[in-house]
Amino acid sequence: MPGFFHSPRYPRFLLGLYVLWFLAWAYQPWVFSDWVLEHSLTVVWLGFLIATHRRFPFSNISYTLIFVHLCLHTVGAHYTYALVPYNDWTQAAFGFRLNDLLGFERNHYDRLVHFSFGLLLAYPVREVFLRVAGAKGFWGYYLPVDLTMSFSMLYELIEWAAAELFGGELGQAYLGLQGDVWDAHKDMALATCGAIISMSVVAFINWKFNKQFGEEMRRSLAIKGGPLGERKLAEMMKERDQ
């Protein structure tokens, strides 16, 4: 199995596995219109990953994390997030309802997926920053958290726009507030917490095994060059006039 995990065929295996998972949960979704809406971004995201695979292949670790997040999302899309029957599952498997055990009053499956968004996708985002933007040291840990927060905010805006556009039951199903006026804020906070945990784990591993960890952090925070703004503009104008 370790050899297969390192194989270039591993991403194709995950893609095939996800297609089977998707088809299984595509059978009789509870609210078909919401299911289509929920998976509109899934199709775009998968298409992007497939189209860029040759030019920018992610690590197999990143593909695994993306796969897990997509699987969680697919379950939520089947039932609508507010109606995922995880309480029935724990009742059948363990003899208790999870909400009763933890004192929850609402369905928290959407909270789980928002948390997993930060926890699972911050690492692939870090790959982009390291390999494309050349981020080093502190910035290789901070920027993935920052971008995860930005994407989480953007998704909440998309939810809001969709709810306004479609309205009615479809808009409410997609928005999934469940009566909580702070739902969007909590979702973003959980995504941020997940990303912080993810980057903290990565930083700990690098601190443990990379002897240059401290030096890389120091160099990344060192001041480079002089002030920009009006000084840089004046320099560019001077160079243009020469």
Token couple for 235 = 């320099």
Other beta carbons within 10 angstroms of residue 142's beta carbon come to 15
The tokens 């697919």 sit on which residue?
74
pTM above 0.75, yes or no: yes
Gap between the terminal Cα atoms of the chain: 63
Please write the tens of the pLDDT for every residue from 97-132.
Answer: 999 999 988 899 999 999 999 999 999 999 999 999
Tens digits of per-residue pLDDT, 23-47? 999 999 998 988 998 898 899 999 9
Whether 173 shows a pLDDT value over 60: the answer reads no
What pLDDT, on the 0 to 100 scale, is given for residue 102?
Answer: 92
Residue of 151, 113, 145, 111 lying closest to 129 (CA atoms): 145
Candidates 147, 150, 156, 152; CA nearest to 123 is: 147
pLDDT higher at 155 or 208: 208
**DSSP conformational letter for 58:** P
Contact (CB, 8 A) for 71 and 196: no
Residue type, 155: Y
State residue 226's pLDDT score.
79
Compute CA 233 distance to the chain's CA centroid, rounded to the nearest angstrom: 37
Distance CA 86, CA 131 (A): 39
CA atoms of 121 and 112, how far apart (whole Å)? 14
> Tokens 């003899």 appear where?
95
Q: Span 53-72, mean pLDDT?
A: 96
Q: How far apart are CA 202 and CA 213, in angstroms?
A: 12
pLDDT value of position 169 = 63
Instruction: Tell me what the mean pLDDT of segment 90-97 comes to.
Output: 95
| % of the chain beyond a pLDDT of 90 | 69
Rounded to an integer, what distance in angstroms lies between the CA atom of residue 124 and that of residue 116?
A: 13
Q: What is the per-residue pLDDT across 194-233, written as a single tens digit (0 to 9) for each?
A: 999 999 999 999 999 999 999 999 999 998 887 888 888 8
Separation CA 184–CA 186 (nearest Å): 6
